[in-house]
Amino acid sequence: MQKNNNAPLLNAVDLKKYYPVKKGIFSKPQLVKAVDGVSFTLETGKTLAVVGESGCGKSTLGRMLTMIERPTEGDLFYNGQNFLVNDKEVEALRRQKIQIVFQNPYASLNPRKKVGAILEEPLLINTSLSASERKEKVLEMMSKVGLKTEFYDRYPHMFSGGQRQRIAIARGLMLDPDIVVADEPVSALDVSVRAQVLNLMMDLQEEMGLSYVFISHDLSVVEHIADEVMVMYLGRCVEQGETKTIFSNPRHPYTQALLSATPRLEKEHRRERIKLVGELPSPLNPPKGCAFNARCRFATERCQQERPELKTYEDGTKIACFIVE
């Protein structure tokens, strides 16, 4: 495949994922709009964090990028080539170039297989390497993620959560991908282990030139690891921009509320707590107008009638809000 040097490494254009849901035998199926038109670009060696409450569509977006879920609509370009076309060569390339690390290392590793077999599996399916070459590559990757070579013949239950997540990260890197989708990779780990795994991911990013789509609800982690942040609410992006800009000057009311809940040690960085009233609306029956209007302290009549579109502002930040306008 010819590389397009002018194109970003990954370019998602208006990705949508709708699920038909039937409430009864004779009722018409309704659509759950899990992701409803999300666009972003990702540059080589950078980290895009996708944040928001549970149910906002961030994990669905991650699964679409790796084609665990096929988008209902939209395009996904890798170096200018559409990854969503039905072509065997493109599908093989996509499997190699975009990999995922799941949230729970206790559930994502096969308990019946030894670590060596778990790590060799991607090579066995996608390459023509011999058994000795596969083993050599596995041991090399284990060393990279800080696992001892004697772990090769052990089962997942013999490891701690942090070690299991290192195994999961190693598995994600076995095919030398350019992009890793990390879906809440540290949320299931003890606080004492999180920093180790995050530092490992940042070291690997520098060493291997990786790009991350980092899905998280922990904003203190996001501030530490991300170059750019995309805030999602009910399947849509409400604010997107550089991490420094978003954290120093959040402008969408939802982003302000999220950041006000992030603990701060320094007094000067603490924000007044903004409490969100009410529950996240159902994606089966989203409110008319702006999806956030029922919980927004600034909502006007216009917010209840019209849906704001993402607009780019002078600092490069994209925001979907009539109040900001």
Q: Where are the domains of the chain?
A: 10-319
The H-or-E segment that residue 96 falls in is helix 88-97
Question: Above 80 in pLDDT, residue 299?
Answer: yes
The answer to whether residues 126 and 117 touch, using CB atoms and an 8 Å cutoff, is no
- Name the residue with higher pLDDT: 155 or 1: 155
Instruction: For residue range 97-130, list pLDDT tens digits in order.
Output: 999 999 888 888 999 999 999 999 999 999 999 9
Q: How far is CA 175 from CA 123, 131, 146, in A?
A: 7, 15, 18
Amino acid in the structure at residue 324 = V
Q: How far is CA 169 from CA 16, 59, 141, 173, 208, in A?
A: 27, 17, 10, 6, 13
Q: Say which residues have a Cβ less than 8 Å from residue 249's Cβ, sequence separation at least 6.
A: none
Look up the pTM and report it.
Answer: 0.91
Question: How long, in residues, is the chain?
Answer: 325
Of 73, 6, 7, nearest to 35 by C-alpha is 73
CATH number of 10-319: 3.40.50.1100, 3.30.70.980, 3.40.50.300, 1.10.645.10? 3.40.50.300
Name residue 32's beta-bridge partners: 19
Strands 73-78, 10-21: pairing kind = antiparallel
Q: How far is CA 89 from the centre of its chain?
A: 25
Q: Would you call 5 exposed, middle or buried from its count of C-beta atoms within 10 A (0-12, 13-18, 19+)?
A: exposed
- Name the residue with higher pLDDT: 263 or 225: 225
Instruction: For residue range 9-38, list pLDDT tens digits in order.
Output: 999 999 999 999 887 777 788 889 999 999
